[in-house]
Amino acid sequence: MQLDVRRHGIDIDETSRDRLERRVEFALGRLGQHVSRVWVHLADAHGPRGGSDKRCRVLVRLQHLPDVLIEDHDSDLNVVIDRAVNRAGLTVRRELSRRNSRSH
């Protein structure tokens, strides 16, 4: 599983980057055989105008299934990352379960 992190208007330090990678691995790591790539896009929705609305988009490319796209907003970057990555993991597992139930 490849992980690609993009940022727009948000700087993350090495500790935050490591935490993000651990969260993605925890949520999607066991599904690695079905997940070919994960993109995480972090942005400050208000940009230089100020404000504290952070956005996290998680796009999961699955093998033989449509991509999963999750987006969330929060003022706390860690909270929004945790929520979006957790939702992505749940959605991927649900899609894989649907595929398995259809094939039986």
Q: What is the pTM of this model?
A: 0.88
Q: What pLDDT does residue 31 have? A: 86
Find the length of the chain. 104
Mean pLDDT of 80-86: 96
**Average pLDDT of the chain?**
90
Which CATH number is 2-103's, of 3.40.1030.10, 3.30.160.100, 3.40.50.2300, 3.40.50.10470?
A: 3.30.160.100
**For residue 47, is pLDDT > 80?**
no
**For residue 45, is pLDDT > 70?**
yes
**For residue 46, is pLDDT > 80?**
no
Q: What pLDDT does residue 104 have? A: 59
Q: Is 70 left (phi over 0), alpha (psi -120 to 50) or beta?
A: beta
